[in-house]
Chains A and B, each alone.
Chain A
């Protein structure tokens, strides 16, 4: 069978699993429903990997392309929906699927008490979430992308609010739902504008039609509106406010998926839409795109890092570190080079493993001590050396320590970004050091009881970390999956950076991804895109040194903070920034509107 035939199955298989679980879950014992969920997720991962393997090996046609329902285009115009298994898209689908398998294994012993009579509902929702994310990664149709965008949204809102007994998850899920839905509607308005102009819905078709005329206000509006929704998902400043609220309160296994891959899919969407639709002469000029994403990326990275440092709620701290890293990913996309894209892809791969592992460790703390508050946990987890070690390794990997995948990604991306603006590598080092340092600081305090006990500060609004365990009662003994899964994730992240074959495959993926004409020809004409010959991304001396520098800085920051909690805790300068994160849905929506205006202002020169 043609490998391309497997593409729709990457979406359909988890859906079938979800339907089976929803129907039979009530009669299945917990173990059976978990096994079933894992089996379907693993089958999906296998087919995604098969597609990826096929896409990674040049043959007739550079990568698998499948028209659902067999509606192949005639003369470059079709009526169907196309799924494209280019290495980057298929790779993301594989990453999503593998992470879902890890998450399902992790939650094996996690929720002690699933909702009665609905045992299968948690794995079923996770499978639907997986289908949405995989579909979004491999679709080559703009409206279809919107459908999957909404699908992953709906599944994610429900999963975020899963623990209805608690007030915080509900509030976080609501902000998440409202802001993301609004972003999605903006995207749909943009899609409609593009349809009115071109009369097409496929990415490749729209791009071709747009290039028959020059850019104008309509194209600009379409770009801004479509990108708004994707940037909301990517949590770029000022669309980011929902993310910490949602990620801090969702059940830990869900956090692993939200921070590990869902947010990154927003970045992927921005890059995908730009490269396939707007990168031609009829789209948005390259300098305008670079400027807009660079501004948003830098703001996001700095604000995320500043907020991350000030958190004492561990999951919130990790959530802000995700915001900050998303900023770095956006910069990697903004520079518009194949190196930038492949570096970012490596960074995302490495980051997914590391961030998921860190959340997994935090989940252990939550279920053991009923809190994820850095101050309250001070020195209490001395008895968990293995978890502590994993947490520390995760913190170091987050700083970009060679040879972790996150380190390689950071090195390659900052090298690529350095060609656009010389100061960008410094930003990468600074942001990695601050976010990694915050994680290390928390790790030192919690697992080693290092330094002095931090005191609570008065007068400032903040989210403390008292929570109710997600397991039925507090854990006495730590079940094996809760430790094995983060260990495996960190190992995978290490492997991504250490095995050169991965890097060269990602390098090829980045080159194919940025070949606008090649994508359109492969999709519409069935002609193979020539694989561009580029040196594969690899470790360079500067990258290694900068990685070591950011790691060293992070350790120094952490040590300083542990030693002098009062002076390094919370600069008064940043108090107004803190207050912006108000938890108020109206505020977040207002910022979304303002962000759309900002994006417009930044991109206006691109149509002249």
Chain B
């Protein structure tokens, strides 16, 4: 348990990269990139977790209750938005590529070589 969340993050990163390397469809590749990115959320939040901590949202008066790290959560939020926008942009590129190249198979893209 002490390292499991970290290792899971590493696994997600690697499997996502594996998907990118072996992908035969660019849309699928963009999906794999999104998977890869989710490893960063997992690692961020795992790092910020504290045993027995509650969410860092206070209802009224400040209490001494133990809270998990709010900073990593803010970073993860930023990260999620970044990920979604990058995905959108790459999908837009794939979509146009399909129109101009007639394929979404990376093996068939042949314009840039050497």
Residues of A within 8 A of B (CB): 143, 147, 150, 153-154, 157-158, 161, 164-168, 170-175, 177-178, 181-182, 185, 188-189, 192-193, 195-196, 201, 244-245, 248-249, 310, 460-463, 578-579, 581-586, 589-590, 592-593
Minimal Cβ-Cβ distance residue in A for B36? A185
Q: Which residues of B contact A462 (CB under 8 A)?
A: 113-114
CA A606 to CA B90, docked complex, whole Å: 38
Interface: B8 (CB within 8 A) = no
Given contacts A154-B86, A157-B89, A188-B40, contact A586 B114 (CB under 8 A): no
Interface of B is mostly: helix
Q: Which residues of A contact B110 (CB under 8 A)?
A: 583
Q: Is the CB of A192 within 8 A of B47?
A: yes
Q: Which residues of A contact B44 (CB under 8 A)?
A: 188, 192
CA A201 to CA B74, docked complex, whole Å: 13
CA A578 to CA B111, docked complex, whole Å: 14
Within the complex, what minimum Cβ distance (angstroms) separates A131 from chain B? 15
Name 10 A/B residue pairs within 8 A (Cβ), A-sorted.
Answer: A150-B86, A167-B101, A171-B101, A177-B89, A192-B44, A461-B114, A582-B113, A585-B23, A585-B29, A589-B20
Q: Is the CB of B13 within 8 A of A185?
A: yes
Determine the interface band of chain B, counting residues with CB < 8 A from chain A: 35 or more
CA A248 to CA B75, docked complex, whole Å: 35
- Among A170, A201, A310, find the residue whose CB has the most chain B CB atoms closer than 10 A: A170
Minimal Cβ-Cβ distance residue in A for B96? A164
Name the 7 nearest CB pairs between A and B, nearest first: A461-B113, A167-B100, A583-B112, A462-B114, A196-B47, A170-B97, A589-B20
Q: B45-62 toward A: CB 8 Å interface, digit per residue (1/0)?
A: 001000000000000000
Interface of A is mostly: helix
Q: Is the CB of B93 within 8 A of A182?
A: no
Interface: B2 (CB within 8 A) = no
Q: Is the CB of B109 within 8 A of A171?
A: yes
Q: Which residues of B contact A181 (CB under 8 A)?
A: 33, 37, 86, 90
Residues of B within 8 A of A (CB): 9, 13, 17, 20-23, 26, 29-30, 33, 36-37, 39-40, 43-44, 47, 71-72, 75, 78-79, 82, 85-86, 89-90, 93-94, 96-97, 100-101, 106-107, 109-114
Q: Is the CB of A584 within 8 A of B109?
A: yes
Within the complex, what minimum Cβ distance (angstroms) separates B102 from chain A? 9
Q: Is the CB of A174 within 8 A of B39?
A: no
Q: Is the CB of B72 within 8 A of A195?
A: yes
CA A289 to CA B38, docked complex, whole Å: 30
A150, A182, A188, A582: the one contacting B20 at CB < 8 Å is A182
Within the complex, what minimum Cβ distance (angstroms) separates A407 from chain B? 31
Minimal Cβ-Cβ distance residue in B for A143? B75
Q: Is the CB of B112 within 8 A of A249?
A: yes
Q: Which residues of B contact A166 (CB under 8 A)?
A: 100
Q: Is the CB of A583 within 8 A of B33?
A: no
Q: Is the CB of B106 within 8 A of A584?
A: yes
B29, B72, B114: the one contacting A460 at CB < 8 Å is B114
Within the complex, what minimum Cβ distance (angstroms) separates A362 from chain B? 17
Q: Is the CB of A185 within 8 A of B40?
A: yes
B30, B43, B89: the one contacting A154 at CB < 8 Å is B89
Minimal Cβ-Cβ distance residue in B for A167? B100
Q: Which residues of B contact A593 (CB under 8 A)?
A: 17, 21
CA A157 to CA B82, docked complex, whole Å: 14
Q: Which residues of B contact A177 (CB under 8 A)?
A: 86, 89-90, 93
Within the complex, what minimum Cβ distance (angstroms) separates B83 from chain A? 9
Q: Is the CB of B114 within 8 A of A185?
A: no
Minimal Cβ-Cβ distance residue in B for A168? B111
Within the complex, what minimum Cβ distance (angstroms) separates A188 from chain B? 5
Minimal Cβ-Cβ distance residue in B for A165? B100
Q: Which residues of B contact A154 (CB under 8 A)?
A: 85-86, 89
CA A161 to CA B95, docked complex, whole Å: 12
Task: Known pairs A168-B112, A192-B40, A586-B21; list 6 more (Cβ under 8 Å).
Answer: A143-B75, A150-B82, A174-B93, A181-B86, A195-B47, A462-B113
Within the complex, what minimum Cβ distance (angstroms) separates A257 from chain B? 18
B22, B26, B94, B114: the one contacting A581 at CB < 8 Å is B114
- Among A153, A192, A579, A592, find the residue whose CB has the most chain B CB atoms closer than 10 A: A192
Minimal Cβ-Cβ distance residue in B for A583? B112
Q: Is the CB of B114 within 8 A of A585?
A: no
CA A157 to CA B33, docked complex, whole Å: 15
Q: Is the CB of B40 within 8 A of A170?
A: no
Q: Is the CB of A589 within 8 A of B17?
A: yes
Q: Which residues of A contact B112 (CB under 8 A)?
A: 168, 171-172, 175, 244-245, 248-249, 463, 583
Q: Is the CB of B26 within 8 A of A189?
A: no
Q: Which residues of B contact A244 (CB under 8 A)?
A: 112
CA A411 to CA B44, docked complex, whole Å: 45
- Among A158, A177, A178, A248, find the residue whose CB has the most chain B CB atoms closer than 10 A: A178
Q: Is the CB of B93 within 8 A of A463?
A: no
Within the complex, what minimum Cβ distance (angstroms) separates B69 from chain A? 8
Q: Which residues of B contact A581 (CB under 8 A)?
A: 113-114
Q: Which residues of A contact B39 (CB under 8 A)?
A: 185, 189
Q: Which residues of A contact B9 (CB under 8 A)?
A: 189
Q: Which residues of A contact B94 (CB under 8 A)?
A: 174
Minimal Cβ-Cβ distance residue in B for A584? B106
Minimal Cβ-Cβ distance residue in A for B14? A593
CA A14 to CA B23, docked complex, whole Å: 38
Minimal Cβ-Cβ distance residue in A for B109? A171
Given contacts A157-B90, A177-B90, contact A583 B37 (CB under 8 A): no
- Among B43, B101, B113, find the residue whose CB has the most chain A CB atoms closer than 10 A: B113
A174, A182, A310: the one contacting B17 at CB < 8 Å is A182
A195, A196, A585: the one contacting B26 at CB < 8 Å is A585
Given contacts A178-B29, A463-B113, A579-B114, contact A585 B40 (CB under 8 A): no
Q: Is the CB of A174 within 8 A of B97?
A: yes
